[in-house]
Structure 1
Amino acid sequence: MSTWIVRFTANEVGRFLNRWSSPSRCLDPNISTPPPKKSSGCGKKNLHAQLTEIKAAHPDADVQLWAMDEHRLGLHPILRRVWVDNWFGLLSAPVHCRYDWFWLYGFVHPRSGQTYWWLLPRVNIDLFNRALADFAEHFGIGPKHHVVLVMDQAGWHTSDQVVVPEGLHLAFLPPYSPHMQPAERLWPILNEALANRVFETLDDLLERVEQRCVQLLNLTDFISGLTQFHWWRAFQC
Structure 2
Amino acid sequence: MDEHRLGLQPILRTVWAPTGQPLVRPVHPRDERRYIYAFVNPESGESRFWLVPVLNKEAYQAVMAAFAKSVGAGEDPQVLVVQDGGGFHVPAPQGHPPGVEPLTLPLYAPELQPAERLWALTDRTVANRYFDTLHDFSQTLAQQCAWLGTQPDLLSHHTLFHWWPLLSH
Deviation of 1:174 (Å): 0.3
The corresponding residue for 1:211 is: 143
Query: How does the TM-score come out when normalised to structure 2?
Result: 0.94
- Give the alignment's Cα RMSD to 1 decimal: 1.5
What secondary structure does 1:148 align onto? strand
The corresponding residue for 1:111 is: 43
Contact 2:4 2:35 in 1 (8 A): yes
Deviation of 1:210 (Å): 1.1
Question: Which of 6, 11, 16 is the aligned partner of 1:83?
Answer: 16
Poorly superposed stretches of 4+, deviation over 4 Å: 158-162
Contact 1:156 1:162 in 2 (8 A): no
Deviation of 1:159 (Å): 6.0
**CA distance 1:230–1:150, change in 2 (3 Å):** same
Output aligned runs, 1:1-237, within 5 Å.
68-84=1-17, 86-158=18-90, 161=93, 163-232=95-164, 234-236=165-167
Deviation of 1:143 (Å): 1.1
Q: Which amino acid aligns with 2:118?
A: L
Runs of at least 5 residues in structure 2 that lack an aligned partner in the other structure = none
Larger RCO (CA within 8 A; separation ≥ 6): 2
What secondary structure does 1:235 align onto? coil
Q: Give me the whole-angstrom Cα distance separating, in 2, the residues matched to 1:128 and 1:215.
A: 23
* Post-superposition CA distance 1:7-58 (Å, at most 9, x none): xxxxxxxxxxxxxxxxxxxxxxxxxxxxxxxxxxxxxxxxxxxxxxxxxxxx
* Post-superposition CA distance 1:59-101 (Å, at most 9, x none): xxxxxxxxx11111111111111123x3221111111111111
Deviation of 1:127 (Å): 1.4
Query: How does the TM-score come out when normalised to structure 1?
Result: 0.68
Q: Which amino acid aligns with 1:236?
A: L
Structure with greater strand share of residues: 1
What secondary structure does 2:78 align onto? strand
Larger Rg: 1
**CA distance 1:162–1:199, change in 2 (3 Å):** farther
* Post-superposition CA distance 1:107-155 (Å, at most 9, x none): 1111110110111111111111111111111111111101110001111
Contact 2:43 2:166 in 1 (8 A): no
**CA distance 1:128–1:160, change in 2 (3 Å):** closer
What percent of counterpart residues are identical? 41
